[in-house]
A = this chain, B = another copy of it.
Amino acid sequence: MADLVKQEPVPNDHLVLKRTLNDVVEDDNDLQNGASTKRPIIVPDRKPDLRYTLLKTGLCYDVRMRYHAKIFTSYFEYIDPHPEDPRRIYRIYKILVENGLVHDPTLSGIDEIGNFMLKIPVREATESEILQVHTKEHLEFLSRTPQMTRDQLLKETEKGDSVYFNNDSFLSAKLSCGGAIEACKAVVEGRVKNALAVVRPPGHHAEPELAGGFCLFSNVAVAAQNTLKAYPESVRKIMILDWDVHHGNGTQKAFYEDDRVLYISIHRHELGKYYPGTMHGNYDRVGDGKGEGFNCNIPWPCGGLGDAEYMWAFEQVIMPMCREFQPDLVIVSSGFDAADGDTIGQCHVTPSCYGQMTHMLKSLARGNLCVVLEGGYSLDSIAKSALAVAKVLIGEPPDELPEVKQPRPEALEVIDTVIRAQSKYWKCFKGSHANDGCSLAEKATETVINKNFPLQRAIRQQQIQLLKDEYSFVTLPLANMGLPDDTAMFSPNIYDAQAILVCVHDTPEIWARRSRVTGNIDPSSSIIVDTTVDVIKWGIEKKYGIMDINVPQSLQEQDNYSAVTTAQELLVFIWDNYLKYFPMLNKVAFIGIGDAYSGIVHLLGHRDTRNVVKCAISFIDRKPLRPLIPLVDETLADWYYKNSLVFASNENACWGSDGNDSKKPRKKFGRVLRCDSDGLNNNFEERFDEATDFILDAFEEWSDSE
């Protein structure tokens, strides 16, 4: 079998179609009839190509890749070994044997491994191969490690960015890299239908000039580069899908300006805080120069994601994009650290989902698929995940997903952002996604045209019309805060009122029907849902003085405008200049709606208002909680907790991702209550009576109202 695998790149394209169909049919006759009774085939001159079905799946595995290991320096490392552990590849090999995909009773990596898989002998990558991606300096540095003393090795380990070295590191790294190359070549040459390279050390963090993140050579990048070089005719385009939970900065860098390689990575990013800790893994890194549009990052904003989000990413982004790219070979940078059970990745991708994703990738590039191990640090999780992938590679159907969930909102947002970023380059995202009003709105905010009018202004004007015409509200002057004149309004009875309601709100919600095709809003069937109307009406009925404060969510003139800061300044201003001086006033109730409620919380912490303010009610839907910071008096936080209600959507992030009710926000956030419903209007309908009862209670006005 070894003679099939060449040690050096094949100089030109000679795809080895080992068995044609006719051979098989004849073999078959031989076996079944005992003798070759060659019967004529109807159309004998056509040569049907069913080779894929007849081929085995390639497997790279070599015990020598277990030699690279961290030099123990303390007893602690025996108990809690380095996560990039030599047993990683062994455990994957072992589970393949246990499940019959590989026949190797000795578990030693023998050559003849049975009916399902074909052993692809692992060899060291050559210097010239490595130099296709890496710098001479980097290669020379690693080539010195076999001769280093223990102390030197430990010093280099210390100096590096999450890498370690021993005297076998160079050998293992060359084998890992060579294994990836051989796996790709075996697929491209048609010796196997697809391949799994169980190799280590991993590669995708290794940049051309630098090892890092447990990676010494950028295995997949080297394999891709050399495959492109060796088969210029049959492999013109390669897609690298990196589902390791970390961003493959090394691979990205190697092909950032290359249009022959589409690099797609799906990883935790968290604004660049997750390893490797830079912004290079962000959605807006789409490639440069010739490579612009051929780099796609799907950056998860948090951990805890799983099957639903990965399937969503595949169906919404990865598969449409790859079908359009039409790669000749697909390489998976297959870390299993997003797997359920991996404590570093803290995600929950199940083995079934890895199987499903592998199955989807098999539909690309006429099945030319090579899966190369990267990270993954739970030995159980990587073994089970790799088994699921291997089973699908050999031809088993993927298992069903154990659970059907909705993708989490954060993931939906990210996918939308990615699609918008990529829609410039990929037809599949045009029309269906890009033209969704968002991009138009973005474009419009860049170039303010004369005839454009901010929607929120139109909506506020409509509110004003009601307040003025129906209730004779008057403008409250705000000096030069730079806000629209109609920001704060008050009822004419306010100077005589003993009790005042102050309603501080965002622009009301708009429920809109949107044309799928043009992305425009259809005004005829869209409505403004103004929850403040209920508040104002109720207050008018009770004969309270009323102040209506609309916090603009943006201001066309101000780039660094913040609605939250404005709400805070506004409330303090109104307190300091008006409410404080109203002669008759002895009861104030605040009602906050949306983000604007942060102004109330701010005021209550920054001024001592307790002599008149009786309570603060807020409806915040999914908006973030704001803590009271008791600047004037430590007891304010306690007071706030007793005299506030904060109604939050049942989907508010403060309840934790698992919907675990036991997680209760701390007291400084006020009395936070979880609504049974989601959405501002629903929360309002559910809890408005409770809110008004609370105000009545605080005002002790039981007598005249009931």
Let me know if A533 is at the binding interface, CB within 8 A. yes
- In the complex, identify which listed stretch (A169-177, A293-301, A334-342, A446-454) lies at the interface while the others stay far away: A446-454
Closest chain B CB from A48 CB (angstroms): 4
Let me know if A522 is at the binding interface, CB within 8 A. yes
From A440, which residue of chain B is reached at the shortest CB distance?
B511
- When chains A and B are docked, how far (Å) is the Cα of A454 from the Cα of B466? 14
Q: Mark A431-449, 1 if CB is under 8 A from B, else 0.
A: 1100011101110110001
Q: For A115, give its contact among B25, B516, B622 (CB under 8 Å).
A: B25
- When chains A and B are docked, how far (Å) is the Cα of A315 from the Cα of B318? 12
Contact A441–B527 (Cβ < 8 Å): yes
Question: Chain A interface residue count: which class?
Answer: 35 or more
Contact B42–A437 (Cβ < 8 Å): no
- In the complex, identify which listed stretch (A95-103, A137-145, A692-700) lies at the interface while the others stay far away: A95-103
From A94, which residue of chain B is reached at the shortest CB distance?
B42
Let me know if A513 is at the binding interface, CB within 8 A. yes
Q: Mark A390-434, 1 if CB is under 8 A from B, else 0.
A: 010011111111001111010011001000000000011011100
- In the complex, identify which listed stretch (A274-282, A355-363, A577-585) lies at the interface while the others stay far away: A355-363
Let me know if A657 is at the binding interface, CB within 8 A. no
Let me know if A612 is at the binding interface, CB within 8 A. no
Task: Chain B residues near A520: list those with CB within 8 A.
Answer: 509-511
Let me know if A128 is at the binding interface, CB within 8 A. no
Integer count of this chain's copies in the complex: 2
Q: For A362, give its contact among B397, B400, B450 (CB under 8 Å).
A: B397
Closest chain B CB from A343 CB (angstroms): 27
Contact A48–B523 (Cβ < 8 Å): no
- When chains A and B are docked, how far (Å) is the Cα of A451 from the Cα of B463? 11
Q: Mark A72-114, 1 if CB is under 8 A from B, else 0.
A: 0000000000000000000000100111110101010000101
Contact A400–B459 (Cβ < 8 Å): no
Contact A367–B441 (Cβ < 8 Å): no
From A406, which residue of chain B is reached at the shortest CB distance?
B431
Contact A48–B98 (Cβ < 8 Å): yes
Let me know if A479 is at the binding interface, CB within 8 A. no
Task: Chain B residues near A103: list those with CB within 8 A.
Answer: 25, 28, 41
Contact A514–B517 (Cβ < 8 Å): no
21 interchain pairs, CB-CB under 8 A: A24-B100, A41-B103, A41-B105, A311-B320, A323-B401, A359-B359, A363-B397, A395-B395, A437-B510, A437-B513, A438-B514, A440-B511, A441-B511, A441-B525, A441-B527, A450-B534, A451-B533, A455-B527, A511-B520, A517-B622, A521-B526
